[in-house]
Structure 1
Amino acid sequence: MCKRIIMNTKSEVITIDGNTGEGGGQMLRSALTLSMITRKPLKMINIRKKRTKPGLLRQHLTALKAAQTICNAKVQGAELGATEIIFIPKEINGGDYTFDIGTAGSTSLVAQTVIPALAFADTPSTLAITGGTHTAFAPTYDFLQQSYFPILEKMGLKITSTIERHGFYPAGGGHITITLAPTKGFQAFHCRERGQLKNQKARLLIAHLSQDIARREQAILKEKGWTHVDIDSIKSCHSPGNCIQLSYEFEHITENFTWLAEKGKPAETLVNEVTHEATQFLDSTASIGEHLADQLLLPMALGKGGVFTTTAPSLHTRTNIDVIQQFLDVDIQIKKTNLCWEITIHPSSQ
């Protein structure tokens, strides 16, 4: 149970109910980002209500504390398991920041909470984040580096990143560093077509496990027609881990699909899962995959908007749109087209 929270501010307070929509952690992360940038106080209730373990887990708590740190916010409810918080932001400050999740919680999700806000700071920033770099139900570091960051750069943000150490479940301990310079605002992003396929490759990450596992996965992928399959043996990490990454470089975007191995799951099943997800995207005419679409909505809404095509919008996507529109006067339209969906974002200034 959360302690009784008293809000003492004259500013407009945005209340987000985590028991609506998809009911997960993205609602919290998006709300924190938007609260920082708009300077509108946030009250969130029923945090992660629809999850097996509701409330703040370590990665959500780290994201909350990271947001608090970069804008010197007043926060109530910042504790593990909390289902209600108050967040009253102040001015966003660039600088050098270090955040340690303490578990294999996703470093990428913590980074995505604060990057759009730091883009509006007055000075450059460096983020050093420790936790999980390749974990289930979260974008991997490679997704950020290959797919997400290049689009942010197209939108005007100067951003670079390195991975110092990989982190798998359950120990985590991965370490990434991200450097970004402020922007005067995100430029419009237009991408109705992904363009011609320029390159595709498969990459197998294996850490503290038998190389036979990776060789088996490699053989199965080659049976499915993949000729370029690299095996990367990861030495500097705290936990055993294995995942398959499929990367498709098109003219206008790069999509990255990753599935992590689980104890007892046959290599054939793992390969089939990741290739099935990739095939669903390739069989559509969409320019942007489902997960990348989720990540692009916020910077586009904060900037000059734009348009992209994607696969069928998930409840995740629709919930993110709802959260964005509670903070911003922005028109976001979704319409069905041939073999895909088109999402158009029109900020109020346009």
Structure 2
Amino acid sequence: MAEDGVPIDIDGSIMEGGGQILRICTALSCLLGLRVRVLKIRAGRSTPGLRCYFLPSLRPQHLSGLETVRDLCGGKLENGAIGSTEIDFTPGRIKGGALTADTKTAGSVCLLLQVSLPCVLFAESPSELIFKGGTNAEMAPQIDYTTMVFKPIAEHFGFKLDCDIRRRGYYPRGGGEILVRVSPVKYLKPINLTDKGSVTKIYGRAFVAGVLPYKMVKDMVSAAVRCIRRELRDLHVNIQGVQEPADKAVGNGSGIVIVAETSTGCIFAGSALGKKGVTSDRVGAEAAEILLRNLRHGGCVDEYLQDQLIIFMALADGVSQLKTGPLTLHTQTAIHFAEQLTKASFTVKKCEEANTDCCIIECQGIGLQNKNAS
């Protein structure tokens, strides 16, 4: 722990070596009142430093995330500039209230939510956050994944997340906007997600926006359904097709999110975005294949959710257990830095069942208390 204002040094180049380290460390700094200095930011990437998408005069999503946490707690951010490979963050008090954060690019609004949510759960008052940028972006959760998968599972920790998608924004213009409302909690409950159950329903959303034709939606849906039915023949697959209205979306975009729910309340998803040179059939099949891969491993969460739950497990009051598929590097990174900053105790064990490739993550959380919540 830092004493007398001496920062805790964080090596931003190890393990996953990307923006995730910034998000988890600044969020925990904010929550625990620890000054942190993150060194060698994104040093393991082809373009080190705070990401800028090579667009002049635009703020990158990683810098926007740091500034959002700074503003949430009235903290101090040193060296917060595009291209910086080292930042020094000193937190203040998390007051809550209204805040707007704008990446001014197609940088992901979901990543802004990811860094902010743990902080506002322990604020002094309810928070109303407006995030602007990309709602369906590469290398980040789609907003549909956040609302359909992350939200209901994360709420097992004992909080409510209200997320209103006001406008969608796509690469490269961005321009999307979401409104998030969160009330503070006294503490977080531990979770136990160790019983997968059986798949009971599959549904989803396929969309096009801008000048892209609706036929792309039909092709994505048809390919996804064909792929799923080869493995899950008896389940009805209900994927909604959407042509985004012009006043609710900025730019051209297409994509699909497919969700599977189980008899025990587990939720999995596969998603994909349209790309230049990739057929809509391929996009739909890719999302279906990701979903099926995550249903096979025997865990209770998909590969994209496991790392997002680690910070909440570390903060919870009690022992959490989470059954996952193969541990991702993102999850290993989240565990490493959560342990370093919170002193929560994590153990990871391989499952004993035959024909599975899963792990049990167990965490003795620190039981962080919000002294301002009733």
TM-score grouping bracket, smaller chain normalisation: over 0.9
CA distance in 2, matches of 1:171, 1:316: 28
Letter in 2 for 1:314: T
Equivalent of residue 241 in structure 1, options 237, 245, 253: 253
Which of 62, 65, 81 does residue 64 from structure 2 map onto? 62
Cα shift at 1:306: 0.3
Q: Distance in 2 between matches of 1:138 and 1:180?
A: 22
The reply on whether 1:96 has 2:98 as its aligned counterpart is: yes
Q: 2:273 aligns with which of 241, 255, 260?
A: 260
Once superposed, which parts of structure 1, at least 4 consecutive aligned residues long, lie more than 6 Å away?
none
Q: 1:147 to 1:218 in 2, by over 3 A?
A: closer
**1:290-327, Cα deviation, whole Å (9 max, x unpaired):** 11110000011011240011111111111111111111
Find the counterpart in structure 1 of residue 5 from structure 2. 11
> 3-state DSSP class of the match of 1:80?
coil
The correspondence for 2:128, drawn from 126, 129, 143, is 126
Aligned to 1:345: 363
1:120-159 pair list within 5 angstroms: 120-159=122-161
**Aligned-pair CA distance for 1:203:** 1.9
- CA-to-aligned-CA distance 1:97-119 (integer Å, 9 cap, x gap): 11111001010111110111111
Q: Distance in 2 between the 1:118 and 1:10 partners?
A: 26
- Does 2:40 correspond to 1:46? yes
- 3-state SS of the aligned residue for 2:249? coil
Structure 2 residue aligned with 1:23:
17
Aligned letter for 1:49?
A
Q: Normalized against structure 2, the TM-score is what?
A: 0.88
The aligned residue for residue 174 of structure 1 is: 176
Aligned to 1:286: 299
Partner of 1:326: 340
Is 1:232 matched with 2:230? no
Contact 1:14–1:326 (CA under 8 A) maintained in structure 2: no
Indicate the percent of aligned positions where both proteins have the same amino acid: 29
Letter in 1 for 2:362: T
**Matched AA of 2:270:** F
Structure 2, unpaired ranges of 5+: 52-59, 230-235, 369-374
Flag the 1:349–1:74 CA change in 2: closer, same or farther, 3 A.
closer
CA contact 2:316–2:366 (8 Å) conserved in 1: no
Distance between the aligned counterparts of 1:102 and 1:247, measured in 2?
A: 30
TM-align CA RMSD: 1.7
Kindly indicate whether residue 198 of structure 2 is the aligned counterpart of residue 196 of structure 1. Answer: yes
Q: Equivalent of 1:81, from 70, 80, 83? A: 83
- Asked if the contact 1:191/1:252 (under 8 Å) is kept, the reply is no
Give 2:233's aligned residue: none
Q: CA deviation at 1:348?
A: 5.1
TM-score in terms of structure 1 length: 0.94
Partners of 1:81 and 1:109 lie apart in 2 by 19
Equivalent position amino acid for 2:251 in 1: S
* Structure 1 unaligned blocks of 5 or more: 1-7
- Secondary structure of the structure 1 residue equivalent to 2:155: helix
Q: 1:311 aligns with which of 325, 333, 345?
A: 325
Matched residues in 2 for 1:291 and 1:259: separation?
A: 13
The match for 1:37 is 31
User: Is contact 2:307-2:331 (8 Å) kept?
Assistant: yes
Q: Counterpart amino acid of 2:226?
A: E
Report the CA distance between 1:12 and its aligned residue: 4.8
Once the two structures are TM-superposed, the CA of residue 257 in structure 1 deviates from its matched residue by 1.9
Q: Does 1:277 align with 2:287?
A: no
Structure 2 contact 69–115 (Cα < 8 Å) conserved: yes
CA–CA distance in 1 between the matches of 2:288 and 2:131?
A: 30
Distance 2:178 2:324 in 1: 29
For 1:348 and 1:29, how far apart are their aligned partners in 2?
Answer: 19
* CA distance in structure 2 between the partners assigned to 1:298 and 1:223 by the alignment: 37
Q: C-alpha distance in 1, partners of 2:47/2:77?
A: 22
Distance (whole Å) between structure 2 residues aligned to residue 13 and residue 198 of structure 1 = 49
More displaced stretch, 192-201 vs 278-287: 192-201
How many residues align? The count is 343
1:183 alignment partner in structure 2: 185
Deviation, structure 1 residue 74: 1.3
Looking at structure 1, the residues matched to 366 and 205 of structure 2 have their Cα atoms a distance apart, in angstroms, of 43
Q: Distance in 2 between matches of 1:108 and 1:349?
A: 26
Offset, 1:169: 0.8
Greater shift in the superposed pair: 135-144 or 247-256: 247-256
- Flag the 1:69–1:228 CA change in 2: closer, same or farther, 3 A: same
Distance 2:128 2:366 in 1: 31
Distance 1:121 1:193 in 2: 33
Letter of the 2:90 counterpart:
I
Quote the Cα distance in structure 2 between the aligned partners of 1:68 and 1:302: 20
Which SS does the other structure have where 1:334 is aligned? strand
**Distance in 1 (alpha carbons) for counterparts of 2:295 and 2:359:** 14
| Amino acid corresponding to residue 333 of structure 2 in structure 1 | T
Q: Could you say if the C-alpha distance between residues 349 and 246 of structure 1 is closer, same or farther in structure 2, counting changes exceeding 3 Å?
A: closer
